[in-house]
Amino acid sequence: MTRRRHDLESLLEVAVRVYTERGFDGTSMGDLAAAAGLSKSSLYHHVESKEQLLRLALDRAVEPLFAVIEEPESVAGRAIDRLEHVVRREVEVLVDRLPYVTLLLRVRGNSETERWALDRRREFDHVVAALVAQAAVEGDVRADVDPGLVSRLLFGMVNSLVEWYDPKASSALDASALADAVVFQAFDGLRSPG
């Protein structure tokens, strides 16, 4: 049981790397077996299909991202504070699950699992847009902004981390310092006050 779990874990790491490099469409079970150093029949012993493996990998990103929006600080209080909490925690999840979130953000949507992932991303965007709209009602965000546009720009900034954040770089900030920098830039902007 422990052995089996360990194997699935390593397999997921391999799959997420191969899918991110070649795309899901461009990857066969044969490619996955080769990358994992397994025979195809051993691979089928662990998983039914490359789509099942994709789903398991995407769950590693989707589950913690959605867990964040159910945290107490995300559901109670002023909307601007809830939004700030969501942004901060998403940065932390992104750092913690970097390869899985990277895969989630590159999904294009040709299979059932990819469409499921895109639906989850849209659902998440709606939650954030609703928080922005509520913050505008409460007077904490300018009322003349479009909440949908604001959330896309906000998460455009957050999600760009997958393009350049390298936790192994000597200059890399840890998750908490990175989250501080993102929250500050997003909520207070570049310009110094006064």
CA 16 vs. chain centroid, Å, equals 13
Size of the site for a second copy (CB under 8 A): 38
Does residue 136 contact residue 142 with C-beta atoms inside 8 Å?
Answer: yes
What is the rounded distance in angstroms from the CA atom of residue 156 to the CA atom of residue 152?
Answer: 6
Please identify, using beta-carbon distances, which residue of 44 and 184 lies nearer to a second copy.
184
Candidates 40-48, 54-62, 64-72, 157-165: pick the segment binding a second copy (CB under 8 A): 157-165
> Minimum Å distance from CB 39 to a second copy?
27
> Minimum Å distance from CB 44 to a second copy?
26
What is the rounded distance in angstroms from the CA atom of residue 56 to the CA atom of residue 107?
Answer: 14
Burial (CB < 10 A; 0-12, 13-18, 19+), residue 103, is: buried
- Regarding 164 and contact with a second copy (CB under 8 A), the answer is yes
Chain contacts with a second copy (rule: CB under 8 A)? 23, 26, 80, 83, 132, 135, 139-142, 145-146, 149-150, 152-161, 163-164, 173, 181-182, 184-192
